[in-house]
Every structure is written in C-alpha cells, then in structure tokens.
C-alpha cells in the first residue's frame, strides 16, 4: 500500500443520505429516477455531460504547499494557494450539505504493496458506478474498516465564480497532496475522476521507486509482458488487443519490483465510429448492462445506439469492467516486460514502420512523446502538425519528465527489455501523397518483435535518427521497412526528415535535460 496520512478528515456531511457502495442495478435505479441518464437498447446506461465533453485541462490545479512543492514540475502544472483551496473546499462542502451523495470505496492499483485506497464522493449516481468500473472493488470483508488514503469529492452541479474563487472558469479540478483530497466541480465529464487519481499515482509512486505509466499492457503465453505507449490515434488500444495475448489493461499501469500492475479495474474506451469487425469486444460492451456511455447518441424511441453520430462530441466514451473483454486477465502483478513499444502516427511519412531503440534513445523518445496530427487550416489546407506530449501523458505528469525517464531506463536495463518505435502513420510520401501503414504489416512487425523473430535479422542504422531498422521481417515486403526507399522523391524525403528532426530538437530544449547520454540520442540535423 502507498504510505500516506489518512484522509478520513475529508468525509462529507449531509442532512440527506450518503449511499455507500451501491450495486450496479441500484445505481441504475437512482440514475434514472434522478433523470441523470437513460437505459439504452442492450442495457447500457447513457448520460450526457453537458458543456464539458472532455477533460478541462486548463482548469486543473495543484495546491502549492510545503510537503510537495519541491517535487512538482511547475512548468507543466498550474498552482493554486492553500487559502484559495480551503475557501472553495468549504463552499463545496456547504453545497453538498443538503444533497444525497454517493460514496464509492475502491483501490487504485492491483498490487497490494503499491495500491492507493480511494474514497470517491459523487453528486451524480452514475459517476459512482463509473468510479466502480475504473478502479478496483475491494473484497466485501475489507469495506467495514476501509480507510481512504485519498478522497475525491465530485460536485458537477457546483460552479465556481472565477473572480471570487481564484479559478479560470466555472469548472475546476484541484489536487491537494497535503490534505489528500481532490476537488472537482463545474464539469460532469467522468474522466476527470479517473485522470485526477492517475495524477496522484504519478506523484506518489516515483517517490518509492515505482514507475507509473500511461500505457496499455498485455501478456503472452510465455509470460512475456509487453507495454504500449502511445497518444490518441496511434493504435494503442487496437494493437494491445490481440486474441493470442491476454489484456492486462488498456490505459494506466505501474512497474514495480513485483512487475507490471494495472491501476484500474475497467476500461474507458472512445467509441466514435466504432466498428464491430475491427473492435468486436469493445463494440459488444456498448450494448451490455453495466456499461456507462457518455454523450453517445441514440434513438429516443428504440434506444438503439448510433456510434457514428458525433453531433454531441467526437469524444464519445464507454466505461465498463475489464471482464467485459474476453481475453483480459486480472492479477496482483505480471512479469517484468520483455518488450516496450512506443507508438507514433507520423504524418510526415519519414519514420520507419518499426525501429529498435537503444536505452538512451528510448529515454529521448519517451521524454519527447511524439505523434503528428493533420490540422485543418482556415483555407481548408491540410498539413501535418507535430504533437509532443512528454512521457506520452503530459497532462498527468506531476514530476519533471526526467524523473519518469530515469525510472524507465533503470527498469528497462534491469529487465533487459527491448524497446521498439512503431510508426502507424504514413509511408511513401508526405500527407496528400503517402498512404497509411498497412495494419496487416504493422501487426506482422509487432508480432515479430514480441516473439523474438526480429532478433535474428540484420539491422541498419538510420543516419538522422540513429535507431536501428530491420532489413527483413516475415510477412512484410523488404522495401516497406526503409522509409526513404518508399519515396519517389528522395530529396523531398531528406527535407521532410530534416524538418521533423528539427521539431524534435526544438521541443526537447524546454526540458533542460543534463544527461549527455540522453542528449546524445537526439536526431542529427
């Protein structure tokens, strides 16, 4: 268990009822009776979150106080003072004092040595079920004496007044490491509950030498664990969902001396345009009793879902227990990874479909967290735009990136894990000319990396990025492996490669990394 002072003093007091750890069916009754949500065809509970249909990144603050101030990476985290927090905390307590409240006691982390006891108070019934899915349900015998290490107080109906309350808007997500409490208000987007606890784990675990990771993870028949880092749109969920391997979890994990462990007890999948053939298990989960849908459009008469309708938001979501995925597996911890996969969607079309990284290159690319997106300009012209999110999860990084990078390097070397960079983006040319990497080829490359087949082939060193590119791979044409060879205009390839390398270098400056080895792994311009 993570050592913290108990947050028992953060209990909610109300003149109405506090409903404790209600079963899913009871939550359904409350949510429908309260007009928070409706039951859709198949049995999923669907809620709308109003104005906020995604995380409010600009409304998240960490309280600046003596116990944590020196550890926080303030360049990445907005500060709020204790007095401002205390004032808003008192207002939220007063707001909830005459309301029914839902309490959920749960664990964040499957490893008993590294888990966090979490108590979640929610104004909305369906938020309580969401917390029950996202975190891990304790055995019934543990509930009577449950003591929270951290408390989440979630009051979406309370809206802050920025001038009076010191916030940027009516929504707020405040983390207080001294008082062991998270305060959420002004937003009904349930993901704030999950991600705020992820931010807490990202702070607490490194202090005891445990690596927190925004990644998916699976394990093969030979007990060979693999972890997958990647930003949205890179294929993290798709590639980690392999019928020949067991899914440990799809989003947040820790890596301790005991191995890899899941932070969560469920999945929170994006479901816009979800295809039953491409993602059969996630698609099936959208029609099951117990699943919570956020902002998914459905027919008011038949209650049939329309997963292709993004009129409310493109960020439609489904939250469901991990066991809804047939090939999932639960356990306290799993073996140390043999393979680390970093996924990127390179819209410049210059990165290879797969490359092997040295430990130093792995640290460089981990700190960089690169992918590329295609942005629409006002004139309708589409150009690739580089996106960097350090450690593949910048919004949730409490410490400086070097803290997480050093932990990853230490654990990677100790377990002798291989690290692979996989480009699921474009090949054969830049945006407008190049084509998306074949998922068939990407699968073949990934499988060859995981089963050790690539260890037997020759590699060549990329002159700019320095990583090693395999000369061959079963099931993949040799000409696909070297990106320069897939371009008709080699001079244009060289120019685009130089352009991307320059973007990497410019982005990396802000981290002020002092390690000569990591800096030496940068692309050569």
Measured from the Cβ of residue 267, the count of other Cβ atoms closer than 10 Å reads 26
Per-position DSSP letters for 438-478, written without gaps between them: PHHHHHHHHHHHHTTGGGGS-EEE-TTT--EEES-BTTB-H
In the residue annotation, 336 being an active-site residue is answered as no
Helix (H) / strand (E) containing 18: strand 18-20
Q: Where are the beta strands (DSSP E) in 126-180?
A: 150-155, 172-176
The confidence score (pLDDT) of residue 373 equals 76
Q: Is the pTM value of this prediction over 0.75?
A: yes
Q: Where are the beta strands (DSSP E) in 276-367?
A: 292-294, 297-298, 305-306, 317-321, 337-344, 354-357
Cross-strand pairs, 341? 228, 420
Confidence label for 375 from pLDDT (cuts 50, 70 and 90): very low
Select from 3.90.1150.10, 1.10.10.10, 3.30.70.250, 2.170.8.10 the CATH code of 266-324.
2.170.8.10
Helix (H) / strand (E) containing 212: strand 211-219
In the residue annotation, 147 being an active-site residue is answered as no
- Give the strand pairing for 211-219 and 225-230: antiparallel
d(CA 270, CA 318) in angstroms, rounded, equals: 7
The confidence score (pLDDT) of residue 380 equals 42
Q: Which of 232, 413, 460, 461 is catalytic?
A: 232
Judge residue 263's burial from the number of C-beta atoms within 10 Å of its C-beta, 0-12 exposed, 13-18 middle, 19 or more buried. Answer: buried
Q: Which residues contact residue 262 at a Cβ distance below 8 angstroms, ignoring those fewer than 6 apart?
A: 109, 110, 217, 248, 249, 252, 253, 322, 330
pLDDT one-digit tens code per residue, 164-197: 999 999 999 999 999 999 999 999 999 999 999 9
Mean pLDDT lowest among 61-65, 179-183, 482-486:
482-486
In the residue annotation, 232 being an active-site residue is answered as yes
Q: Which of 40, 52, 53, 55 is catalytic?
A: 55
The confidence score (pLDDT) of residue 2 equals 65
Query: CB–CB of 392/215 below 8 Å?
Result: yes
Tell whether the model's pLDDT for residue 251 goes beyond 80.
yes
Q: Which residues contact residue 83 at a Cβ distance below 8 angstroms, ignoring those fewer than 6 apart?
A: none
CATH number of 336-519: 3.90.228.20
The confidence score (pLDDT) of residue 328 equals 95
Topology at the third CATH level for domain 14-36+58-210: Phosphoenolpyruvate Carboxykinase; domain 1 (3.40.449)
Q: Which of 122, 128, 237, 368 is catalytic?
A: 237
Q: Which of 317, 365, 411, 496 is catalytic?
A: 317
> What percentage of residues in the chain have a pLDDT greater than 90?
86
pLDDT one-digit tens code per residue, 88-127: 999 999 999 999 999 999 999 999 999 999 999 999 999 9
Confidence label for 277 from pLDDT (cuts 50, 70 and 90): confident
Domain boundaries, the chain: 14-36+58-210, 266-324, 336-519
Query: CB–CB of 318/269 below 8 Å?
Result: yes
Measured from the Cβ of residue 287, the count of other Cβ atoms closer than 10 Å reads 16
Helix (H) / strand (E) containing 383: strand 382-388
In the residue annotation, 199 being an active-site residue is answered as no
Of the candidates 398, 357, 362, 401, the one whose C-alpha atom is nearest the C-alpha of residue 512 is 401
d(CA 153, CA 239) in angstroms, rounded, equals: 35
d(CA 520, CA 524) in angstroms, rounded, equals: 9
The confidence score (pLDDT) of residue 1 equals 67
> What percentage of residues in the chain have a pLDDT greater than 70?
96
- pLDDT, mean of residues 335-359: 95
Judge residue 477's burial from the number of C-beta atoms within 10 Å of its C-beta, 0-12 exposed, 13-18 middle, 19 or more buried. Answer: exposed
Grouping H, G, I as helix, E, B as strand and the rest as coil, residue 421 is strand
pLDDT one-digit tens code per residue, 25-55: 999 999 999 999 999 999 999 999 999 999 9
Q: Which of 119, 236, 253, 400 is catalytic?
A: 236
d(CA 167, CA 158) in angstroms, rounded, equals: 13
Tell whether the model's pLDDT for residue 4 goes beyond 80.
no
Grouping H, G, I as helix, E, B as strand and the rest as coil, residue 165 is helix
- pLDDT, mean of residues 214-228: 96
The confidence score (pLDDT) of residue 114 equals 97
Judge residue 243's burial from the number of C-beta atoms within 10 Å of its C-beta, 0-12 exposed, 13-18 middle, 19 or more buried. Answer: exposed
d(CA 474, CA 25) in angstroms, rounded, equals: 50
Q: Which of 59, 105, 149, 251 is catalytic?
A: 251
Mean pLDDT lowest among 255-259, 338-342, 380-384:
380-384
Q: Which of 195, 283, 336, 356 is catalytic?
A: 195
d(CA 218, CA 225) in angstroms, rounded, equals: 6
d(CA 201, CA 2) in angstroms, rounded, equals: 9
Q: Where are the beta strands (DSSP E) in 220-296?
A: 225-230, 246-249, 252-256, 259-262, 266-270, 292-294
| φ, ψ of residue 27 in degrees (nearest 5) | -60, -45
pLDDT one-digit tens code per residue, 417-431: 999 999 999 999 888
Query: CB–CB of 261/332 below 8 Å?
Result: yes
d(CA 330, CA 248) in angstroms, rounded, equals: 7
d(CA 213, CA 256) in angstroms, rounded, equals: 11
In the residue annotation, 195 being an active-site residue is answered as yes
- pLDDT, mean of residues 392-403: 93
The confidence score (pLDDT) of residue 421 equals 98
Confidence label for 494 from pLDDT (cuts 50, 70 and 90): very high
pLDDT one-digit tens code per residue, 451-470: 999 988 999 999 999 999 99
In the residue annotation, 283 being an active-site residue is answered as no
* Arithmetic mean of pLDDT over the chain: 93
Judge residue 448's burial from the number of C-beta atoms within 10 Å of its C-beta, 0-12 exposed, 13-18 middle, 19 or more buried. Answer: buried
Q: Which of 214, 338, 365, 496 is catalytic?
A: 214
The confidence score (pLDDT) of residue 7 equals 54
Between 233 and 480, residue with greater pLDDT: 480
Grouping H, G, I as helix, E, B as strand and the rest as coil, residue 235 is coil
- Give the strand pairing for 266-270 and 317-321: antiparallel
- pLDDT, mean of residues 273-290: 92
The confidence score (pLDDT) of residue 378 equals 31
The torsion of the CA quartet 463, 468, 472, 473, rounded to 10 degrees, works out to -140
Of the candidates 43, 168, 19, the one whose C-alpha atom is nearest the C-alpha of residue 104 is 19
């Amino acid at each position: 268990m993570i050592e913290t002072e108990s947050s028992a003093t953060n209990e909610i007091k109300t003149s109405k009822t506090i409903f404790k750890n209600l079963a899913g069916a009871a939550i359904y009754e409350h949510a429908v009776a309260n007009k928070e949500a409706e039951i859709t065809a198949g049995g999923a509970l669907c809620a709308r979150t109003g104005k906020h249909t995604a995380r409010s990144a600009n409304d998240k603050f960490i309280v600046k106080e003596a116990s944590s101030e020196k550890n926080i990476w303030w360049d990445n985290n907005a500060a709020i003072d204790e007095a401002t927090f205390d004032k808003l905390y008192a207002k939220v307590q007063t707001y909830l004092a005459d309301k029914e409240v839902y309490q959920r006691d749960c664990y964040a982390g499957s490893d008993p040595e590294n888990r966090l006891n979490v108590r979640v108070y929610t104004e909305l019934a369906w938020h309580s079920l969401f917390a029950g899915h996202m975190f891990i349900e304790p055995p019934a015998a543990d509930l009577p004496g449950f003591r929270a290490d951290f408390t989440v107080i979630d009051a979406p109906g309370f809206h802050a007044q920025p001038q009076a309350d010191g916030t940027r808007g009516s929504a707020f997500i405040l983390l207080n490491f001294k008082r062991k409490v998270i305060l959420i208000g002004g937003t009904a987007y349930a993901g704030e509950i999950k991600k705020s606890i992820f931010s807490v784990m990202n702070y607490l675990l490194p202090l005891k030498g445990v690596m927190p990771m925004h990644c998916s993870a699976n394990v093969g028949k030979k007990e060979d664990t693999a972890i997958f880092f990647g930003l949205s749109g890179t294929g993290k969920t798709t590639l980690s969902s392999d019928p020949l391997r067991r899914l440990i979890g799809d989003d947040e994990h820790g890596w301790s001396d005991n191995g890899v462990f899941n932070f969560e007890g469920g999945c929170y999948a994006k479901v816009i345009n979800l295809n039953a053939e491409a993602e059969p298990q996630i698609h099936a989960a959208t029609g099951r009793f117990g699943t919570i849908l956020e902002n998914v459009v459905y027919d008011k008469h038949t209650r049939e879902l329309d997963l292709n309708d993004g009129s409310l938001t493109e960020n439609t979501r489904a939250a469901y227990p991990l066991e809804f995925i047939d090939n999932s597996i639960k356990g306290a911890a799993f073996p140390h990874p043999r393979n680390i996969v970093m996924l990127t969607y390179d819209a410049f079309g210059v990165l290879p479909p797969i490359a092997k990284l040295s430990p130093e290159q792995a640290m460089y690319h981990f700190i960089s967290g690169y992918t590329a997106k295609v942005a629409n300009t006002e004139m309708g012209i589409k150009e690739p735009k580089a996106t960097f999110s350090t450690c593949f999860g910048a919004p949730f990084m409490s410490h400086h990136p070097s803290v997480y990078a050093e932990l990853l390097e230490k654990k990677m070397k100790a377990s002798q894990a291989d690290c692979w960079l996989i480009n699921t983006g474009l090949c054969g040319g830049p945006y407008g000319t190049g084509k998306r990497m074949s998922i068939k080829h990407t699968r073949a490359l990934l499988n060859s990396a995981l089963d050790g087949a690539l260890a037997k082939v020759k590699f060549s060193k990329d002159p700019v990025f320095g990583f090693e590119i395999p000369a061959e791979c079963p099931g993949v044409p040799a000409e696909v492996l070297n990106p320069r060879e897939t371009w008709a205009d080699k001079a244009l390839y060289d120019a685009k490669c130089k352009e991307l390398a320059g973007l990497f270098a410019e982005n990396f400056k802000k981290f002020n990394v002092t390690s000569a080895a990591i800096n030496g792994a940068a692309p050569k311009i």
